[in-house]
Amino acid sequence: ILNVEQSPQSLHVQEGDSTNFTCSFPSSNFYALHWYRWETAKSPEALFVMTLNGDEKKKGRISATLNTKEGYSYLYIKGSQPEDSATYLCAPESSSASKIIFGSGTRLSIRP
């Protein structure tokens, strides 16, 4: 898996608003899709690992969906809070190699 695209690159959202962003990846040789949350000066923190087409996972106000046939995943944040400000990285994993390739991320800033 070489082409991982995340959009938008950056996003500014008012506190309390909901938002979502996209990860696109080649659908061939798909094995799993990882989402990570990455705060400045910290290490990436795993949010979700999804494997099945149609998978939907939720952790608090954050949820994610997966479409393996068309090669995309959405991350949703409901009722954004200042602590949600971070870069959200997606990382697909192919079935032919035990490794993940990080996208360049969506940098989310929440305005109080």
Partner 1 sequence: DTEVTQTPKHLVMGMTNKKSLKCEQHMGHRAMYWYKQKAKKPPELMFVYSYEKLSINESVPSRFSPECPNSSLLNLHLHALQPEDSALYLCASSQASGEQFFGPGTRLTVL
Q: Which of 92, 105, 106, 110 binds partner 1 (CB under 8 A)?
A: 105
- Nearest distance from residue 70's CB to partner 1, in Å? 23
- Interface with partner 1, residue 38, by CB under 8 A: yes
Binding of residue 49 to partner 1 (CB under 8 A): yes
Across the strands, what pairs with 50?
33
66: tokens are 């997966």
Classified as helix, coil or strand, 2 is coil
Residue 18 or 59: which CB sits closer to partner 1? 59
- The answer to whether 74 and 65 have CB atoms below 8 angstroms apart is yes
**Which segment (17-25, 53-61, 78-86, 100-108) binds partner 1 by CB under 8 A?**
100-108
- Return the DSSP state at 98: S
**What are the structure tokens assigned to 12, written together?**
């500014």
Query: Are 33 and 50 spatial neighbours (Cβ–Cβ below 8 Å)?
Result: yes
Write out the residues near partner 1 by the rule CB under 8 A: 31-32, 34, 38, 42-46, 49, 89, 93, 97-105
